A and B are shown apart, each in its own frame.
Chain A
Amino acid sequence: MQHATIEKSIPLMAILTLILVSIGGIVEIVPLFFIKSTIEKVDGMRPYTPLELKGRDIYIREGCYNCHSQMIRPFRDEAARYGHYSLAAESMYDHPFQWGSKRTGPDLARIGGKYSNEWHQAHMLKPQNVVPESVMPAYPWLQKAALKYDDVDVRMQALSKVGVPYSPEQIANAKQDLAAQAKAGGNDPGLAKRYGNKVPQDDFDGKPDQITELDALLAYLQMLGTLVDFSSYQAQTR
């Protein structure tokens, strides 16, 4: 085929360009969907509870990922500071994943349970009150804004369409599970039955009579990286 023929026909050039570019994608991306070693099998992963899911939405809304990564790399210094390196399986229910690409603040992949709710409350209100050298902006409105969660079951339905294994029972009980998780000293049997025993239940925001956006965000932060039991985890040799 003459070069001039391709240059003079826009549709032909578009089709040939598309073929050429997609070769790179096919070679690099497609095998990942089929290779078993891409996502290591681990015990303990579960989909987010409704409250955590709303918290994750707030995390994305406020742009937390711009300054915080959720990806611990396999280096000694990172393991010493943050814990075991992140596994692909730990973000398999994330749509989209929150690995991030920049660490102005620390990595949050294993922030769960590291600091108390009281600390998080003080920190969100004004980070410099607890960490004087911090450059993080304050998020005081989270503790004031009531959490709107009438759409949480619909969001879970949407996620189940892209492969998150929410059961019909989990979706049907979404709203009451959400409210139960935000109760102080909570020990809701339904929540434990549907999501297992690694669900932090508490009055996260320090306002017992209200479910605020801070409740949701802290429920999410307090479970990050806590699900996989690394005492029983054996790294694949690869």
Chain B
Amino acid sequence: MADNKGVETTGHQWDDDEGYPLQEFNNPLPKWWLYTFYATIIWSFIYWVLYPAWPSANGFTKGVLGWSMHTEFKEDMAAVQVQQKAFNDQMERLSLQEIAKDNKLLQYAISGGKAVFGDYCAPCHGTGGIGVKTGGFPTLADDDWLFGGNLETIHETISGGRVGQMPAHLKSAGGNFSDAQVDDLTSYVLSLTGQSKDAAANQRGDALFHGDAGCKGCHGDKGNGSLKGTVDGSPLPPIGAPNLTDAIWLYGGDRQTVRDSIAKGRSGKMPAWSKESKEVGKKLDPLALKQVTIYVHSLGGGQ
């Protein structure tokens, strides 16, 4: 006979004739497990009464607590508004300069701006504005500015965006100059930072830079950019033409990259973040714009 080791069976038994019958054991669930299971069933009834649960033809049962995720969310957001109200009101009323002078507000703006920067700006400008490996995205932690590093200009740049305006010079890319001429211009630009020793090429490039190619109209007589440079004694329009003499490169300072910039032009784009902008996409509210402006200004290069 089979040894059922004292386990209760359901009484079913098959294939008895071999002497080893198949039996159906009944191993009851542990008591703690069973009662927990019953408790969850009871809880589900309580839950139906308290919380939104059953769908119906034109809505759903709302539950006696009246809880909803959207209401909780709204309350959460309202609580934050109340907490920050004193600061936000002041931030709204005061100018950037005034905020920067008030130490408490400054700290508030910087910590808020840091969060905004981390999400919206760091992908292109690097964490803390230290720049990224790919060319075309300016480092913000230094004091080499394209459009200006004071609070108002930074605010303007972030709100309205910027577009690079370097035109193409090579004939095949829509410009007016031959391969050899572009090579000469490249040599001259590199000579400004002491990287080109080919005197003849530098001289030919010099003539183009200050002549037919019109480079000086944006980069200045000395090639030191639209912020610091002058052309024929008068200041340059603030169009973001980089300083070519400081060995800080937006796209890269090797010969090939500089040549590419001259040959094909550059039109890097800083998106506009103000809600007044017509550009499609996510925008920042005026408070966040102010905060992130002050944060960027604080990164080290603010003027």
Give residues in A with beta carbon < 8 Å to B.
27-28, 31-32, 34-37, 74-76, 79-81, 83, 85, 110, 112-119, 122-123, 125, 128-132, 198, 200, 222-223, 225-226, 235, 237-238
| Count: A-B pairs, CB below 8 Å | 98
Verify if B94 is at the interface (C-beta below 8 Å from A). no
Verify if B82 is at the interface (C-beta below 8 Å from A). no
Of B42-50, B68-76, B96-104, B240-248, which binds chain A?
A: B68-76
User: Is B280 touching A79 in the complex (CB atoms < 8 A)?
Assistant: no
Give residues in B with beta carbon < 8 Å to A.
54-60, 68-74, 76-77, 80, 115, 119-120, 122-124, 126, 132-134, 136-137, 268-271, 279-282
User: Is B58 touching A35 in the complex (CB atoms < 8 A)?
Assistant: yes
Give which listed residue, A32, A76, A118, A200, contacts B280 with CB less than 8 A. Answer: A200
User: Is B123 touching A75 in the complex (CB atoms < 8 A)?
Assistant: no
Q: How far is the CB of A85 from chain B (nearest CB, A)?
A: 7
User: Is B58 touching A113 in the complex (CB atoms < 8 A)?
Assistant: no
Q: For B58, what are the chain A residues with a Cβ–Cβ distance below 8 Å?
A: 34-36
User: Is B271 touching A130 in the complex (CB atoms < 8 A)?
Assistant: no
Q: For B59, what are the chain A residues with a Cβ–Cβ distance below 8 Å?
A: 35, 37
Give which listed residue, B69, B123, B281, contacts A74 with CB less than 8 A. Answer: B69
Report if A131-B123 is in contact (Cβ < 8 Å); known contacts: A116-B269, A198-B280: yes
Report if A83-B282 is in contact (Cβ < 8 Å); known contacts: A35-B60, A75-B76, A130-B137: yes
Q: For B57, what are the chain A residues with a Cβ–Cβ distance below 8 Å?
A: 31, 34-35
Q: What are 16 A-B interface contacts by the 8 Å CB criterion? A: A34-B58, A36-B58, A74-B72, A83-B282, A85-B73, A113-B282, A115-B123, A117-B269, A118-B137, A119-B137, A129-B132, A129-B133, A129-B134, A130-B123, A130-B134, A131-B123
Q: How far is the CB of A189 from chain B (nearest CB, A)?
A: 17
User: Is A112 touching B282 in the complex (CB atoms < 8 A)?
Assistant: yes
User: Is A116 touching B124 in the complex (CB atoms < 8 A)?
Assistant: yes
User: Is B55 touching A35 in the complex (CB atoms < 8 A)?
Assistant: yes
User: Is B271 touching A116 in the complex (CB atoms < 8 A)?
Assistant: yes
